Amino acid sequence: MLRKILFVLSLAVLANLPYGFAAQKTNSAGKIVAVEKKSKDKVDMYLVNTPVTTQVPYFEITVEFGGTDYVGEYTPRHADEELPGSWKFGETVQGRVDKHHMYLERPGGLELELIVTKRMPVSKEKSQQ
C-alpha cells in the first residue's frame, strides 16, 4: 500500500516538473504607434426601462512589436489617472505580449497590464517610412 502511494506521488511530481522550469518571457523593445483616451458608457441601473449610464474613461494604446501592431486597452482605477508622460507617438517602450495581455514597463520599473483587443500586421508602406 505504501509503495502505491509513493508511486502515485512520484508520478504527480514528475508530471508537474516542467511547469517549475518554465521561463518567463523577457521584455523587448516596442514602438508606440498611437495613444488615445476614450470613454465607454456603463449602465448603472434602469429606471422604467431606461438605462442610467455614466462615462468610464479608458486608454487605447497601439504598440508595434516585431512587425505586428498590438492594440491594448487599459481602464484606470480612477478618472484622473494618466499614463506616463513619456508614452507618446514614436517613443520606444519595453514590454511583452502573450495571448490576451500586453505588459508595458513604466518608467519606475513597474508593469502596466493591458488587454489585447486587436492584432494587425504592420503594412509594408508603414514599415518603409
Q: Given a cut of 80, is residue 129 above it in pLDDT?
A: no
In the predicted model, what is the mean pLDDT of the chain? 84
The more confident residue out of 26 and 119 is: 119
pLDDT tier at 80, thresholds 50, 70, 90: confident
Name the band, by pLDDT with cuts 50, 70 and 90, for residue 27. Answer: confident
Question: According to the model, what pLDDT value does residue 126 have?
Answer: 56
What is the structure's pLDDT at 115? 93
Mean pLDDT of 24-33: 83
Parse the chain into domains and list their residue ranges.
25-123
Greater confidence (41 vs 85) lies with 41
Look at strands 28-47 and 111-121 and give their pairing: unpaired
How is the chain classified by DSSP, letter by letter? Answer: -HHHHHHHHHHHHHHHHHHHTPPPPPPEEEEEEEEEEEEEEEEEEEETTEEEEEEEEEEEEEEEETTEEEEEEE--SSTT----TT--TT-EEEEEE-SSEEEEE-TTS-EEEEEEEEEEEPPHHHHH-
Residue 71 has pLDDT above 70, yes or no: yes
